[in-house]
C-alpha cells in the first residue's frame, strides 16, 4: 500500500499531536516495511533528533511543496491543494493524523481516515478563544463529515464526535493511542540521580506532566500537597500559561510555595527518569481526549492518580486511582495511602505494568493497517 499522511504535526510539533503522529508513522514503518508512507508537510524537517526515525526510514518519504505548487502559501497547499496530487502520486488512502483533512479532500477520490483526539473546544469552550472555537469547529467538523472512517482515540472522544457532529457510530472506530517506547524502559538508579541533579529536583516529589493551564487543574494538586508530609514536593512539568500565576498564589496562601517546583524545559529523553524518580504521578485534568501522561506514568512504573469525568479511566483502567477533579481532600487521602503503604504502591505498579502493555505500538500499527486494507479493498 501507499499511504499519505498529514505530516505537519509530526514534523513541527514535539508534544501531544506531534507525538501521536510520529508514533503512528514510525510504528507502521517498522511493522510493514513493504508499504510506502508519504508525509505531506508545508515545512522542511530540521535536525531535531526526534525526527530521526522518520527522516531515515527506507519506506518513509517527506513531501513538501514543489516550486509553483503553493502560489497562495504553504498552509493553503496543505489544506486545499493536496487532494489533486494524490492520484498522480499513487496515494491509495490518506490519513489526517490530527483532527483534520484538506477542505477539498472529496476531490481525491480515495478512502480517507481522520483521527479525532478530542472535541474539548465544544465540551469546555472557556478553554479556547472564540475565533479558535469557530475555526476548529469548521475544520474538524468538515473532516468528520467527509472522512470515510473516523478513528477516535478513546470511547469518550467517540461519544463526543457522535454528539456534536451527528456521526453514526458505525463510521467511528476506537483505536487507543500509545506512548513512546522509552517510557517502558526502566532507568537505573544512576540515571535517575543524574536527571535529578541536572534539573535540581527535590528528593521526594509527586509529578504532574502537562501544560500548566486551567483545564489541567494543577490547583487541585497544590491543594492536596498541603495535606501531605512536609518533605514531599510537587513537580509541575510543562509549558506555563497565565494560569500558573493562580497556582503560585494558591501555593503561597497554603504555605507550600517552597514545595512547588516547575520546569518547562525538560528534555523528552529525560521524562522517563522524571517519572521514575517520583513517588507518584497525578493528572487531575477536567477533560481529556485520552490522557497520555496517565499511560506514560503506568508504563514508567509509577503509581498514578487521575480525575474522573472524561476518558482518564480508559487510559488508566484498574491500575490507577481516581478522584473527582475538585476533591482535594480525596486526592490527599489517596496520595497519603500510596506514600505510607508499600503494599498499595507495589500493587499499583504491578497493575500499571500489566495494563500499559495493552497499548503496544505494534498493536496500534496492526489495527490501523487492517483498517487501511479494509477501506482500500472496498
**Cβ atoms within 10 Å of 365's Cβ, excluding its own:** 21
Q: Is the pLDDT of residue 360 over 80?
A: yes
Measured distance CA(303)–CA(319) in Å, rounded: 8
Grid cell listed for 222? 497544590
Residue with cell 479493498: 377
User: 3-state SS of the chain?
Assistant: CEEEEECHHHHHCCCHHHHHHHHHHHHHHHHCCCCEEEEECCCCCCCCHHHHHHHHCCCEEEECCCCCCCCCCHHHHHHHHHHHHHHHHCCCEEEECCCCCCCCHHHHCCCEEEEECCCHHHHCHHHCCHHHHHHHHHHHHHHHHHCCEEEECCHHHHHHHHHHHCCCHHHEEECCCCCCHHHHCCCCHHHHHHHHHHCCCCCCEEEEECCECHHHCHHHHHHHHCCCCCCCEEEEECCECCHHHHHHHHHHHCCCHHHEEEECCCCHHHHHHHHHCCCEEEECCCCCCCCHHHHHHHHHCCCEEEECCCCHHHHHHHHCEEECCCCHHHHHHHHHHHHHCHHHHHHHHHHHHHHHHHHCHHHHHHHHHHHHHHHHHC
State percent of the chain over pLDDT 70.
Answer: 100
Question: Alpha-carbon distance 148 to 245, whole Å?
Answer: 44
pLDDT at 68: 78
Mean pLDDT of 157-179: 97
pLDDT at 44: 87
Q: Mean of the pLDDT values across residues 137-147?
A: 97
- Tens of pLDDT along 207-233? 999 999 999 999 999 999 999 999 999
Output the pTM of the full model.
Answer: 0.95
Q: How confident is the model at residue 363 (pLDDT cuts 50, 70, 90)?
A: very high
CB 346 within 8 A of CB 325: no
Residue 82 has pLDDT above 80, yes or no: yes
| pLDDT reported for residue 112 | 98
β-sheet bridge partners, residue 283: 306
Q: What is the mean pLDDT of residues 277-305?
A: 98
Cell for 128? 479556547
pLDDT on residue 73: 76
Q: Please state the rounded mean pLDDT for residues 282-306.
A: 98
Which residues does residue 233 pair with via DSSP β-bridges, in sequence order? 205
Distance in angstroms (rounded) separating the CA atoms of residues 130 and 224:
33
Q: Decide if pLDDT at 197 tops 80.
A: yes
Give the mean model confidence (pLDDT) for residues 248-277: 97
Cell representation of residue 100: 483534520
**Percentage of the chain exceeding pLDDT 90:** 93
- pLDDT of 87 above 80: yes
Place of cell 490530527: 98
Mean pLDDT along residues 137-142: 96
What is the per-residue pLDDT for 19?
A: 94
Report d(CA 199, CA 138) in Å as an integer.
42
Neighbours of 353 (CB within 10 A): 16
Residue 318: predicted pLDDT: 97
Mean pLDDT of 78-105: 95
* Mean of pLDDT over the chain: 96
Closest CA to 89 of 67, 61, 58: 61
Question: Burial letters for 331-347: b for 16+ Cβ neighbours within 10 Å, e otherwise?
Answer: bbebbeebbeeeeebee
How buried is residue 110: exposed, middle or buried, by Cβ count under 10 Å (0-12/13-18/19+)? middle
Residues in the chain: 378
What confidence tens digit (pLDDT) does each residue in 296-353 have? 999 999 999 999 999 999 999 999 999 999 999 999 999 999 999 999 999 999 999 9
| 368 has a pLDDT exceeding 90 | yes
Gap between the Cα atoms of 145 and 100, Å rounded: 11
Confidence of residue 75 (pLDDT cuts 50, 70, 90): confident
Would the pLDDT of 70 be above 90?
no
- Rounded average pLDDT over 349-376: 96
The domains located in the chain, with CATH, are 2-178+360-377 (3.40.50.2000), 184-358 (3.40.50.2000)
Rounded CA gap, 281 and 303, in Å? 6
Range 174-192 average pLDDT: 95
Amino acid at each position: 500500500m501507499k499511504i499519505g499522511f498529514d505530516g505537519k504535526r509530526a514534523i513541527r510539533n514535539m508534544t501531544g499531536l506531534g507525538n501521536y503522529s510520529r508514533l503512528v508513522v514510525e510504528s507502521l514503518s517498522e511493522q510493514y516495511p513493504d508499504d510506502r508512507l508519504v508525509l505531506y508537510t508545508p515545512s522542511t524537517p530540521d535536525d531535531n533528533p526526534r525526527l530521526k526515525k522518520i527522516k531515515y526510514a527506507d519506506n518513509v518519504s517527506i513531501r513538501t511543496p514543489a516550486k509553483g505548487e503553493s502560489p497562495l502559501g504553504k498552509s493553503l497547499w496543505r489544506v486545499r491543494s493536496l487532494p489533486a496530487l494524490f492520484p498522480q502520486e499513487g496515494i491509495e488512502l490518506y490519513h489526517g493524523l490530527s483532527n483534520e483533512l484538506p477542505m477539498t479532500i472529496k476531490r481525491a477520490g480515495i478512502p480517507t481516515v481522520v483521527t479525532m483526539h478530542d472535541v474539548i473546544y465544544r465540551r469546555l469552550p472557556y478553554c479556547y478563544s472564540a475565533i479558535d472555537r469557530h475555526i476548529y469547529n469548521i475544520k474538524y467538523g468538515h473532516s468528520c463529515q467527509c472522512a470515510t472512517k473516523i478513528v477516535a482515540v478513546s470511547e469518550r472522544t467517540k461519544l463526543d464526535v457522535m454528539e456534536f457532529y451527528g456521526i453514526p457510530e458505525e463510521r467511528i472506530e476506537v483505536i487507543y493511542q500509545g506512548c513512546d517506547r522509552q517510557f517502558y524502559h526502566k532507568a537505573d538508579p544512576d540515571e535517575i540521580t543524574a536527571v535529578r541533579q541536572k534539573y535540581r529536583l527535590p528528593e521526594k516529589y509527586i509529578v504532574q506532566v502537562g501544560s500548566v493551564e486551567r483545564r489541567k487543574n494543577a490547583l487541585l494538586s497544590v491543594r492536596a500537597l498541603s495535606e501531605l508530609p512536609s518533605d514531599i514536593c510537587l513537580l509541575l512539568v510543562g509549558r506555563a500559561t497565565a494560569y500558573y500565576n493562580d497556582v503560585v498564589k494558591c501555593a503561597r496562601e497554603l504555605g507550600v510555595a517552597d514545595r512547588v517546583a516547575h520546569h518547562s524545559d525538560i528534555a523528552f529523553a529525560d521524562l522517563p527518569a522524571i517519572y521514575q524518580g517520583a513517588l507518584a504521578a497525578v493528572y487531575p485534568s477536567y477533560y481529556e481526549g485520552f490522557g497520555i501522561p496517565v499511560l506514560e506514568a503506568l508504563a514508567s512504573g509509577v503509581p498514578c492518580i487521575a480525575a474522573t469525568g472524561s476518558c482518564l479511566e480508559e487510559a488508566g483502567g484498574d491500575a490507577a486511582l481516581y478522584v473527582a477533579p475538585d476533591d482535594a481532600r480525596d486526592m490527599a487521602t489517596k496520595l497519603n495511602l500510596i506514600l505510607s503503604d508499600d503494599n498499595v504502591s507495589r500493587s499499583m505498579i504491578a497493575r500499571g505494568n500489566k495494563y500499559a502493555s495493552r497499548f503496544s505500538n505494534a498493536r496500534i500499527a496492526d489495527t490501523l493497517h487492517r483498517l487501511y486494507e479494509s477501506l482500500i479493498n472496498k
